[in-house]
Chain A
Amino acid sequence: MLAITNARIHTGTGETIEEGTILLRNGKIEALGKDIDVPAGAEIFDAGGRPVTPGLVEAHGHVGLANEGVGWEGDDVNETIDPVTPHISALDGINARDRVFDDFLRGGITSVQIKPGSANILGGSAVAVKTGPNNAADDMIIKANTGMKAALGENPKRAHGADKDRAPYTRMGSAAIMRDWLFRAREYVEKRTASDSKTGYDAKLEALAPVIRGEIPLRIHCHRADDMLTAIRIAEEFDVPYTLEHATQGFKIPEYLAERRVSCAVGPSMSREAKVELEGVGFETAVAFQRAGVPFCLTTDHPVIRALYLHMIAGKASAAGIGPDAALAAVTASAAEHIGIADRVGSLETGKDADVVVWSDDPLDGRSHPVRVIIDGEIVYERE
């Protein structure tokens, strides 16, 4: 058992406990609060009044798919052979030994959702993993198949389109391809479940079936407000669950999103207008979403912004106007909700995974850093 004592505990859900204690046993949080007795024999870490938060949760990334400081040999983000590749799975591209995972630990991130890139309209399935210890990707899994990556806007046009002389050339072309495949997947599901079915196995349609059945969401990459609206239009037509990824221009349509309670992974907000569709990138969207009541989390989209700086992004969002509680939630509890793993991670509560970070100082200040990172009750990173 590990006991963290004398901690300023931020639970990730808006509550703060001064001089608190957390007990970790068998990889789970056994108890936390102000007046907790530490059992005899427990290993004690005195936090010295420093802040303790849940392990941060990065809702969107390509970690381990893009090996760092390596050329094309280590680039496994986009399967650009075809704009429709729902049958591929991020899990099969993750190099758990890539040094990028050390960055995540140094940044206090203990959970991440990893997705294929955004070159394809239907791009493959995502997976949620712990960031350490990084031995085998399969041992790190929190939840396999957390959603089907999809993409609208510039990227599919650039990766295919005029350069490759194949669809999509336009945004409406991308939308038509997405519709076509969802329609075929719906037919496939209906026919395959019929007792007299003669419909044969199809890898792509099989991969889309859980979306049609409502078991996993489409996770739709979109930056521009009109791309976000197209995503919603298509998802509503087929009545499938969905989330929006990036949502850069969400500040233009917060009420439209709030009405529908669309969950958005916003970011990377500290980025630049590297593409035309990123016009207006900044912290305005986080502020607008918080005011309008749009559920959202904040992401680095590592390596666009290094994962190491996720807590700084939260700090910037806090300073921009969402305040410290919402900012911390946006990189912990709300991110876990967005991924669909909030039953395990994202907040400090009895029974949840023992993923805990002790910080040198206020995690919302860029100058602070984790001094202990704990995953499943084990200390995986130390710095003084």
Chain B
Amino acid sequence: MHAYIGAKIYPVDGPPIDDGVILVEDGKIAGIGGDLPIPDGVEVVDLSGKVIIPGLVDAHSHAGMWGDGEGEASQDGNERPGPITADVDAIDSVNPHHTSFASCREGGVTTVQIHPGSGNAIGGLCFAAKTAGEVVDDMVLKAPTGLKGALGENPKRGAGKDSPKTRMGTAALIRDYFARAREYGRKRDEGKSPDPDRGLENVLRVLEGEIPFRVHAHRSDDIVTAVRLCEELGIAYNIEHCTDGYLIAGFLGERGIAAHVGPGLSSRGKVETANRHEGNAAILAAAGVKVCLVTDHPFLDARYLMAYGGVAQKYGLSFEDTLRALTICPAESIGVDDRVGSLSQGKDADFLVLAGEPFSFKSPVLATFIEGVEVYTRPTL
């Protein structure tokens, strides 16, 4: 057992603790508080003057699959030609030895939800993983965690002979495929054993409520189309990116939608991102949207997720909401909040040691712990 003492702790699911103690045993938090007795024989680590927050949870990442720095040969984010690749699973594209996981650890990201890309109208299964390990299967926290969908510009760029040419074409493709999955399920339930189809099986998992549909949408009309489709289909869903969300914040807020807002700090690189606004997260949160700040790594390098939090705060998101948007909110959205996203007894010992208050540039991540193991240590200069 280890005892980390002396730091100011932001547990996220409770008030900050000055001069707190975290007890860690077998990768779990065995105790946390301001006035905990420290059992005999425990290795004590003094973190006086430091700050502890939960490991960050990034609900939209392509860590290990985009092959940054490795060129075309390692680009494994979008299965082409599309437009429907519901049968693929992100886990089969992820290389744990890719530098992107080192970026995650350096940036304090300890849990990621890894999505297939957004090139296809239905892109495949997402899963949640820790960011340290040698074998991806050992890093899995939960799989699958959702089915990726996409609206707007990206699916229209597809090379498939059936790839949509318009936004209404994309919506029709998704509707049609879900209808076929429902038909497939009905046959199966009637004992008619349809021809096995992995893609339809995966969509059926959405229709049956096992996993949500996670829909890429930037422009406000694409976001509204996502809502229209999912409400029609009666399925659980959330919006990925939600770039124009602030334009229709009331519409989204009254539905209590979860929005994975990001990639942070990025430019208006596409026509559908022309309205990008730094106040988006704050406006959405104020309207009642469950805001998660995401990197979409590599589109914002995971090293800079905390900096994105600082910017969201600068444009109006409160300190508490910013911290939640990087920890417990994404953990809930992914469905892994029983394990990560806050610091309380029984949860995984995933935490960060910061040099000072979170989001200040003078408070770099000094150390990242995953399940009690120090997986990143800031080099001394």
Contacts and interface: CB of A to CB of B under 8 A. Distances in A.
A365 B301 CA distance: 19
Interface string A241-284: 00000000000000000000000000000111111101100100
Interface stretch (B45-53, B64-72, B177-185, B336-344): B64-72
Interface in B177-207: none
A69 interface: yes
B274 A318 contact: no
B165 to A, nearest CB: 15
A321 B310 CA distance: 20
Nearest to A74: B271
Interface in A292-340: 302-306, 308-309, 312, 315-316, 318-319, 321
A69 B362 contact: no
A278 B266 CA distance: 18
B69 A366 contact: no
B143 interface: no
A70 interface: yes
A366 B314 CA distance: 8
B62 to A, nearest CB: 11
A306 B266 contact: yes
B381 A68 contact: no
B274 A69 contact: yes
Contacts of A319: 361-362, 364
A275 B278 CA distance: 27
A276 B360 CA distance: 31
B166 interface: no
B161 interface: no
A69 B270 contact: yes
Interface in B307-363: 307, 310-311, 313-314, 359-362
Contacts of B266: 306
B301 to A, nearest CB: 4
Given A272-B301, A306-B266, A366 B271 contact: no
Interface residues of A, dominant DSSP: loop
A272 B360 contact: no
A366 B278 CA distance: 13
Contacts of A274: 68, 298
A270 B275 contact: no
Contact of A367 (B268, B271, B297, B313): B313
Contacts of B271: 69-71
A276 B314 contact: no
Contacts of B68: 272-274, 278
Interface in B361-379: 361-362, 364
20 contacts: A68-B267, A270-B265, A272-B297, A272-B300, A273-B99, A274-B68, A275-B71, A279-B69, A302-B267, A303-B269, A306-B265, A309-B265, A312-B307, A312-B311, A312-B361, A316-B361, A319-B362, A364-B361, A366-B310, A366-B311
Interface of A: 68-71, 270-276, 278-279, 282, 287, 302-306, 308-309, 312, 315-316, 318-319, 321, 364-369
Interface of B: 68-71, 99, 103, 265-271, 273-276, 278, 297-301, 303-304, 307, 310-311, 313-314, 359-362, 364, 381
